[in-house]
């Protein structure tokens, strides 16, 4: 069955530190998609990135980077030089169309607190 595990429930860092949020997934599909969403204190879910299972290239977007490793079924998210505005809950999600259609399966989320 499809499953997403975010083992880190809470992480607290000091501003300018780098921080990595872990995401491990399970699926039997060979074609699947992985996502990261951010949920700031205001509550909305903000899309950050989408990755398909055939594209293992790491991606960098400003201070954000993502490391996709199929061999370990992981899709980790790193924030470089963290800022207070990065404080939020971050969710990793999986879409495995063959098994689950279009629905997203979410991890439990990681609460990131960046202290000044």
d(CA 92, CA 14): 23
**What is the nearest approach in angstroms of other proteins to the Cβ of residue 78?**
21
DSSP 3-state of 99: helix
Q: What phi, psi does 23 have (nearest 5°)?
A: -145, 125
Residues 27, 96, 110, 114: which binds other proteins (CB under 8 A)? 96
**What is the nearest approach in angstroms of other proteins to the Cβ of residue 95?**
5
Is there binding between residue 61 and other proteins (CB under 8 A)? no
User: 80-102: buried (b, 16+ CB within 10 Å) or exposed (e) per residue?
Assistant: eebeeebbbbbbbbbbbeeebee
Token couple for 24: 């491990």
Binding span for other proteins by CB under 8 A among 7-15, 36-44, 60-68, 69-77: 36-44
The residue length of the chain stands at: 116
Is there binding between residue 64 and other proteins (CB under 8 A)? no
Is there binding between residue 45 and other proteins (CB under 8 A)? yes
Chain residues binding other proteins by CB under 8 A are 31-33, 35, 37, 42-47, 50, 52, 91, 93, 95-98, 100-106, 108-109
């Amino acid at each position: 069955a499809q499953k997403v595990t975010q083992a880190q429930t809470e992480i607290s860092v000091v501003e300018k530190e780098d921080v990595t949020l872990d995401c491990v997934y399970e699926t039997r599909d060979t074609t699947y998609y992985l996502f990261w969403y951010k949920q700031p204190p205001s509550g909305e879910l903000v899309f950050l990135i989408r990755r398909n299972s055939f594209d293992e290239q790491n991606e960098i977007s400003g201070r954000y980077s993502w490391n996709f490793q199929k061999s370990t079924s992981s899709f980790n998210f790193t924030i470089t030089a963290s800022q207070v505005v990065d404080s939020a809950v971050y969710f990793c999600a999986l879409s495995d169309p063959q098994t689950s259609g279009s629905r997203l399966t979410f991890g439990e989320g990681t609460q990131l607190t960046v202290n000044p």
